[in-house]
Structure 1
Amino acid sequence: MSKKFLLAGVVLASLAPAAAFAQSGAATGAAAGAVGGAVVGGPVGAAVGGVTGAIAGGIADQQQPEFRQYVTTQKVPSYTYKEEVRVGAVLPESGVTYHEVPAQYKVKGYKYTVVNNTPVLVEPGSRKIVQVIR
């Protein structure tokens, strides 16, 4: 059992720098999924957990260009935000319109909007930006 915790620590340490600098919910989800998978299933669990976590954490990196194109075709008006558009920023209570994320992107519990001409995923209850779509 201690080997699993040691492996989880090694995986976490190797993924932490990438997750810390990423503005992608997918990167953070991948790191968390990899650590969880390592504890349960060793190295194979880490690989599977990383992929699952990336998809559950936001729009997968390879789907971001497609999602950005989708948002463009929807002609969603952009909200002008005076602060930096970044993960963790809290949008105001009024003036922002949120939209459902289509099921094909496999994102549950979040909505999207456009801030300063940039699509973002938002946690509706807290109005926190959880992923900036680049």
Structure 2
Amino acid sequence: MPDHSLTTAVSLFLLVLTLGACQTDTGTGFATGVAGGAVVGAVVGGPVGAAVGGIAGAAVGGILTAEETRRVRTYVAAQRNPSIQVAEPVTVGQRAPPSARLSPLPASVGLRNPYRYTVVNDRTVLVDPRSRQIVEIVE
């Protein structure tokens, strides 16, 4: 009887690897997350680990391309919004501080998502306006 879990894992790995190869961003974001996650997953758990690691790596690989990051940084720097200071470090996944004003990014910045931005601890962050969750730190 064939091992269906191995077949499923290999199929998932190939799908994630294919999606990563389609990305035009070199060195950052989705493609790097896929590759890094797959390698670590393969070392830890073999083919099944590679598939799971690739999917997890894609999730944390970032949502902006290098060009989008540059445009966001340029736009935000020109706005000179004050930074909200908080005691804890700013991380992806945490909620933006309640006092943070979420500002829209204009269409001229060219993002393909509905995120807003704010500045926390002198770092520009993209925020999902519905949940106020930080989805990316713009470096």
Which interval holds the TM-score relative to the shorter structure?
Answer: 0.5 to 0.7
Which of 91, 98, 101 is 1:97 aligned to?
101
TM-score by length of 2: 0.56
Q: Larger relative contact order (C-alpha < 8 A, sep ≥ 6)?
A: 1
Contact preservation (8 Å) 2:104, 2:116:
yes
Give unpaired runs (5+ residues) of structure 2. 20-27, 35-57
Residues 41-86 of structure 1 show CA distances to partners (whole Å, capped at 9, x for unaligned) of xxxxxxxxxxxx99xx733223212321210111111111211111
- The whole-number CA distance in structure 1 between the counterparts of 2:8 and 2:66 is 29
Which of 25, 30, 46 is 1:27 aligned to?
30
Give the superposed CA RMSD.
3.4
Residues 81-134 of structure 1 show CA distances to partners (whole Å, capped at 9, x for unaligned) of 2111111111232x1111111223323221001111111100112111000000
- The whole-number CA distance in structure 2 between the counterparts of 1:98 and 1:74 is 13
- The whole-number CA distance in structure 1 between the counterparts of 2:103 and 2:87 is 21
Give unpaired runs (5+ residues) of structure 1. 16-23, 32-52
Structure of higher CA gyration radius? 2
- The whole-number CA distance in structure 2 between the counterparts of 1:58 and 1:107 is 10
Name the amino acid aligned to 1:126.
S
The within-5 A match list for 1:48-67 is 58-67=63-72
TM-score by length of 1: 0.58
